[in-house]
């Protein structure tokens, strides 16, 4: 069992993706509140109020057509590790980071927690953790 506590009134992280699978950016399970939206379906208020925006790279073209204003807290998640063209695209929309799926998503998880104020307590690991694990 785990407990996630989010600061009062916190908005969910906005994940913009046109992919239909349940985890387009590879972070589930995640205790941080997430709101998934198609690139043409989120409203400008959601975009401005979200503490963090995670954009799935295949949705980039549709996202740019929306002409959303630059804002801090925009992260692009890239599926193709050999696509160097993502960096100029990221700079054009003011992204603070480009991450690759399939790799270590620890930094993204920490960034999600920090942005939402989510405090996650892994009770299962604390109560039944491995004997090789360091003490909490």
Q: Residue 1: its pLDDT value, please?
A: 30
Domain boundaries of the chain, sorted by first residue: 3-128
Q: Residue 78: its pLDDT value, please?
A: 84
What's the average pLDDT block by block, 10 residues per block, for the chain (136 residues)?
46 85 74 87 92 91 93 88 87 91 77 80 51 50
Q: Which residues pair with 131 in a beta bridge?
A: none
Q: Residue 53: its pLDDT value, please?
A: 94
Tell me: the pLDDT tens digits for 40-76?
899 999 999 999 999 998 899 999 999 999 999 999 9
CATH assignment, 3-128 = 3.40.50.2300
Q: What is the pTM assigned to this prediction?
A: 0.77
């Amino acid at each position: 069992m785990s407990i996630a506590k989010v600061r009062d009134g916190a908005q969910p992280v906005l994940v913009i993706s046109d992919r239909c699978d349940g985890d387009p950016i590879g972070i589930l399970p995640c205790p941080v509140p997430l709101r998934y939206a198609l690139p043409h379906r989120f409203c400008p208020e959601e975009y401005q109020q979200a503490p963090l925006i995670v954009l799935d790279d295949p949705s980039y073209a549709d996202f740019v057509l929306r002409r959303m204003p630059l804002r801090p807290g925009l992260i692009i998640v890239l599926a193709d590790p050999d696509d160097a063209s993502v960096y100029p695209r990221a700079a054009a929309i003011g992204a603070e980071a480009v991450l690759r799926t399939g790799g270590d998503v620890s930094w993204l998880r920490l960034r999600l927690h920090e942005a939402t104020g989510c405090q996650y307590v892994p009770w299962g690991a604390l109560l039944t953790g491995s004997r090789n694990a360091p003490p909490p």
